[in-house]
């Protein structure tokens, strides 16, 4: 059975052409040449050619204990042949097959986002082996391999540039069309193109583990994930088919009109209803992917459309996540800054990276290798041991955690740095403050405007949750137009506050970027991760903003609401068409063939309506 169905699927287009040609020949012979015998022969062969795939699909569904739409059509076609209505049988089978053809073509088109991405993947790489360049298949590249990328080449892996410099087009990854200057120590991403220069890249992630690979994987998974409306329609169709069969049997028993019963079977097929929700869902997700918004499935679209509250992190979310050191206070003449830079390079926090970069640029030094293990304390910082001394590096909480009292000068310095809106990193050694670093981060473009648009669209509760101190938090909040702030929060406190809002009946959207945000991203009704965030945040989120464009939060919600509206429109079109056709049958205005034609037209209308989402403007 499976082999037969595969054969029918592989030869679907020739089958459709043969059935269509024979049906046209039959119509011409019957209505123009008055050759009834030849016409019926052509109709019969056409019915057999187009009908067998439908019948085998119906049998396969029955073996799985499912009464499919194909079962309704199969019974109707057999009945039409039994009462010698060969024209009707041929028309119905051809139109049903043609409808399936259109459906598959449309779904392929709405999956174009995936196909385009897949085709853009590099297939080969130039590896450096013993000083020689060797072109290899991309599957042969392992982590640690060194690759040369020249002008016009695509970067085949995610990795670190170990030599050279270049202007790189990262539009495929970030959506930004402008060229990015890359040099030694910078990250290069698979799929980006070297426009000028040459670089050596050491592979850190290959294949599906790369950023580009994850983009493709996420879009594929999302388009296979059904929305609640799609699941409901699937359940509806499961019970609808036997219901229609019972109605047709009752009509036959009471009216003795076999033709009417068969017509009811054909016209009651909910084809447009079954395809309406999935095609809207796939088109909406495809439109989002085209704009760098990866929505992980229909469930997310449904939840995103209902959101009325937004919570968001500060660093790396409303700010760029690329802070720079503005001020530094050293309270002991020792190598504490070098030690701090060495410990901080073991973490991926934006503030930590900035301290390492500051140290290395200040004296063209590289961090020393103290080989000290660290312990990460969420929401506070890191802790280590050095020559019998306990080292802490982190936020203000380091002071309260270790009951450290500051000198008058240190308190004055801390107050001045915080009043200037700088984030503070403190280093203590055996309960003494030895280092104070102040960092500044730029607010992302369009953040204030996005919050205003979200408020206008119904998200009236907007909270900034941050582990930073209240002075800095309030200053950032004022800049972006937010008046609800909770500062100095630990990750578990953020998640607890989110849960309290949900218990109050709020549908919560959480936006973050770091590993500390993962609990809240996972717990929220919808979690959004910035594309420059950690792998953990991206994997636990429901929506990923690949280019980290904050305005895409509003665009993601617009896509979700438009997709839900489109789905409801399609459901209305489908139900309305079936209702009108049945009324037409009752009054004798519609026969089996003309009804099937209108039925297929309704499927086309539903498809074209869904495809409008692909042209949605932001």
Residue 545 CA to residue 616 CA, distance in Å, equals 18
Residue 351 CA to residue 320 CA, distance in Å, equals 12
Task: State both tokens at 429.
Answer: 């050694």
Could you tell me if 596 and 267 are in contact, meaning their C-beta atoms sit under 8 angstroms apart? yes
**Own/partner long-range contacts of 231-240 (Cβ < 8 Å, ≥24 apart):** 233/273, 233/274, 233/276, 233/277, 233/571, 234/274, 236/270, 236/273, 237/68, 237/69, 237/270, 237/273, 237/274, 238/66, 238/67, 240/270
Could you tell me if 170 and 182 are in contact, meaning their C-beta atoms sit under 8 angstroms apart? no
Q: What Cα–Cα distance (Å) separates residue 394 from each residue in 381, 402, 406, 412?
A: 4, 12, 15, 19
Residue 572 CA to residue 249 CA, distance in Å, equals 27
Which residues are tagged catalytic? 313
Residue 296 CA to residue 311 CA, distance in Å, equals 20
- Strands 375-377 and 381-386, sheet pairing: antiparallel
Residues 6+ apart with CB under 8 A from 21: none
Phi-psi bin for 155: left (phi > 0), alpha (psi -120 to 50), beta?
beta
Could you tell me if 41 and 33 are in contact, meaning their C-beta atoms sit under 8 angstroms apart? no
Could you tell me if 546 and 174 are in contact, meaning their C-beta atoms sit under 8 angstroms apart? yes
Residues 6+ apart with CB under 8 A from 448: 479, 480, 481
Torsion of CA 98, 103, 105, 111, to 10 degrees: -170
Q: What Cα–Cα distance (Å) separates residue 180 from each residue in 122, 261, 393, 443, 567?
A: 20, 68, 33, 20, 40
Computed on alpha carbons and rounded to an integer, the radius of gyration of the chain in Å comes to: 32
Residue 543 CA to residue 560 CA, distance in Å, equals 11
């Amino acid at each position: 059975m499976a082999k037969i169905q595969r054969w029918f699927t592989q030869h679907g287009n020739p089958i459709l052409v043969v059935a269509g040609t024979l049906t046209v020949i039959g119509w011409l012979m019957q209505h123009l040449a008055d050759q009834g015998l030849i016409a019926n022969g052509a109709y019969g062969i056409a019915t057999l050619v187009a009908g067998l795939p439908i019948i085998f699909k119906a049998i396969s569904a029955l073996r799985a204990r499912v009464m499919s739409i194909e079962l309704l059509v199969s019974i109707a076609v057999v009945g039409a042949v039994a009462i010698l209505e060969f024209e009707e049988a041929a028309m119905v089978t051809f139109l049903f097959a043609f409808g399936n053809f259109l459906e598959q073509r449309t779904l392929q088109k709405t999956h174009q986002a995936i196909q385009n991405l897949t085709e853009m993947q590099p297939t080969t790489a130039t590896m450096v082996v013993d000083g020689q360049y060797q072109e290899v298949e991309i599957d042969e590249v392992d982590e640690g391999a060194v690759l040369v990328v020249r002008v016009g080449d695509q970067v085949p892996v995610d990795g670190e540039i170990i030599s050279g410099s270049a202007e790189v087009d990262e539009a495929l990854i970030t959506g930004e069309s402008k060229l990015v200057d890359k040099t030694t120590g910078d990250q290069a991403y698979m799929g980006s193109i070297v426009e000028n220069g040459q670089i050596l890249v050491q592979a850190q992630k290959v294949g599906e583990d790369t950023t580009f690979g994850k983009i493709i994987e996420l879009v594929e998974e999302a388009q296979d994930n059904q929305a609640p409306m799609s699941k409901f329609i699937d359940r509806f169709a499961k019970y609808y088919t036997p219901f229609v069969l019972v109605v047709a049997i009752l009509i036959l028993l009471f009216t003795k009109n076999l033709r009417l019963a068969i017509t009811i079977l054909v016209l009651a097929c909910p084809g447009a209803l079954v395809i309406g929700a999935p095609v809207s869902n796939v088109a909406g997700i495809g439109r989002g992917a085209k704009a760098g918004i990866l929505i992980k499935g229909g469930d997310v679209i449904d939840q995103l459309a209902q959101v009325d509250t937004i919570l968001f992190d500060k660093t790396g979310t409303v700010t760029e996540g690329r802070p720079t050191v503005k001020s530094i206070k050293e309270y002991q003449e020792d190598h504490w800054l070098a030690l701090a830079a060495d410990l901080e390079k073991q973490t991926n926090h934006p503030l930590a990276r900035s301290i390492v970069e500051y140290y290395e640029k200040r004296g063209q030094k590289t961090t020393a290798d103290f080989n000290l293990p660290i312990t990460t304390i969420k929401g506070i910082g890191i802790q280590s041991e050095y020559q019998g001394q306990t080292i802490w590096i982190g936020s203000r909480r380091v002071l309260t955690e270790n009951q450290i009292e500051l000198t008058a000068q240190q308190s004055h310095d801390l107050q001045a740095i915080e009043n200037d809106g700088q984030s503070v990193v403190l280093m203590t050694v055996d309960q003494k403050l030895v280092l104070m670093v102040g960092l500044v981060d730029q607010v992302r473009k369009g953040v204030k405007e996005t919050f205003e648009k979200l408020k206008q669209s119904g998200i009236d509760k907007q909270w900034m949750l941050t582990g930073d101190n209240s002075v800095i938090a309030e200053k950032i909040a004022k800049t972006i137009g937010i008046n609800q702030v909770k500062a100095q929060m630990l990750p578990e406190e953020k998640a607890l506050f989110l849960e309290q809002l949900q218990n109050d009946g709020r549908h919560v959207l959480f936006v973050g970027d770091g590993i500390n945000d993962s609990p809240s991203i996972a717990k929220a009704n919808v979690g959004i991760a910035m594309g420059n965030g950690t792998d953990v945040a991206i994997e636990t989120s429901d929506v990923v903003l690949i280019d980290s464009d904050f305005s895409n939060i509003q665009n993601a919600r617009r896509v979700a609401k438009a997709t839900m509206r489109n789905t409801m429109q399609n459901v209305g079109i489908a139900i309305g068409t079936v209702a009108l056709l049945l009324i037409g049958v009752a009054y004798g205005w519609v026969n089996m063939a003309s009804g099937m034609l209108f039925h297929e037209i309704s499927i086309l209308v539903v498809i074209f309506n869904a495809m409008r989402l692909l042209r949605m403007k932001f």
